[in-house]
Amino acid sequence: MKAESSFPRSRPGRALAHTPHRPDNRPSHTPRGARRSGPIGRLGTLPPAPGRPVFSCAAISLALFLLITWQVAVDGPLVGLDRALRGEASDLASSDGALGTTAQFFADLGGSVIALSVLALGVVPLVYSRRSPLPLVLAVLAAVAVPLLVLPLKFAMARTGPDGAPLGDYAGYYPSGHAATAALAYGTLMLLYGGSRRTPYAAVVLLNIAVGAGLVLRGYHWASDVVASWALAVLVMCALTLLSGRFLPSRPSARLPRASPVPEPQDR
C-alpha cells in the first residue's frame, strides 16, 4: 500500500481568497484582516477609496459656484428667481413678528464675531487634548479663507443688495460673507469633532440652512448670494478635509482582541 505524503496538499481556490477566514468567526490575526478603513475623506485606506467622494463634492461645488456667478454677472434667469424669492421672503418676514425675530437670530449666527468665537472656543480643548497645534492651524485657515476669497469677489461683482440701495463704501453683496463665515466656522468644528458620525454633520447642515434663510428673510442677501457662499465654503472644507486626513493623527480605535494563531488542518 502506497503511503501518502505527510506534506499538506494545495487546496483549490485558496490562492484567490483576499481575507483569511477563521472557523470561530474571530477577527484574523493577520495585518490585512485587522486593518480598518479610515474616516470619510481620508486617503490611503482599503477600497472603496474615501478620497473620491471629496473630489467629487469639490467638483460639483465648483460647477455650482461658477454657474451662479455667471448668472449673476449676465443678469440671467437666476436673478429673476432671486427677485421672486425676495418678494415672498419680505411678505413672510413682515407678516409675522416671531418669524422675523427668529430669522434675525439665525442671521446673527453668521456674523464673524459669533461664528469665529465659537470656532476658537471649540478648537482650544481639542488642541490641548491632542497635544498638537494642527487643529488650530485648520481653524485659522478656515477663518482667513473668508476675507481672502469673498472680499475680492464682492469687489469684482459689485452686486447691489435686495433693498436696492447704492453700494457706497460697501464692496458688494455677492457672495454672502455671513453665510461663508457660518459654513466654514461650524463646518470646521464638525470636521474636527464629528469623525464618522452623521449627527454632527446633519446638525451643521441644518444650522447653516437656518442662517441662510435668516439672511434672505431679513433682506440682507439674495438667495443666490447664500447658495454661492455655501458652494465656496464646501470647496474650502474639501481642502481642509484632505489636509486633516494627511496631517492630523487618527483617533485611537478600539484594539481588536488578540487571537492566538490556529494551526491549519493538514490532509492526510
For residue 24, give the DSSP letter: T
Q: Give the total number of structural domains in the chain.
A: 1
Specify if 94 maps to a domain: yes
Write out the H or E segment, with its range, that includes residue 54. helix 51-74
For residue 133, give the DSSP letter: S
pLDDT band at 68 (very low <50, low <70, confident <90, very high): very high
Specify if 134 maps to a domain: yes
Specify if 32 maps to a domain: no
pLDDT in tens, 134-191: 888 989 999 999 999 999 999 999 898 887 767 777 888 999 999 999 999 999 998 8
End-to-end Cα spacing for the chain: 15
Specify if 252 maps to a domain: no
Nearest partner of 158 among 139, 172, 137, 142, judged by Cα: 172
Specify if 157 maps to a domain: yes
Number of H helices, E strands in the chain: 8, 0
Q: Which domain holds residue 114?
A: 51-247
Specify if 102 maps to a domain: yes
Vertex 78: Cα angle to 72 and 82 (nearest 5): 95
Specify if 7 maps to a domain: no
> What is residue 69's predicted lDDT score, i.e. its pLDDT?
95
For the four alpha carbons of 144, 149, 150 and 152, in that order, the dihedral sign comes to positive
Average pLDDT over residues 212-230: 93
Cell of 55: 473630489
CA-CA distance, 239 to 264, in Å (whole number)?
Answer: 47
Only one residue has cell 465654503, namely 233
Specify if 39 maps to a domain: no
Nearest partner of 115 among 187, 206, 181, 210, judged by Cα: 181
> What is residue 223's predicted lDDT score, i.e. its pLDDT?
94
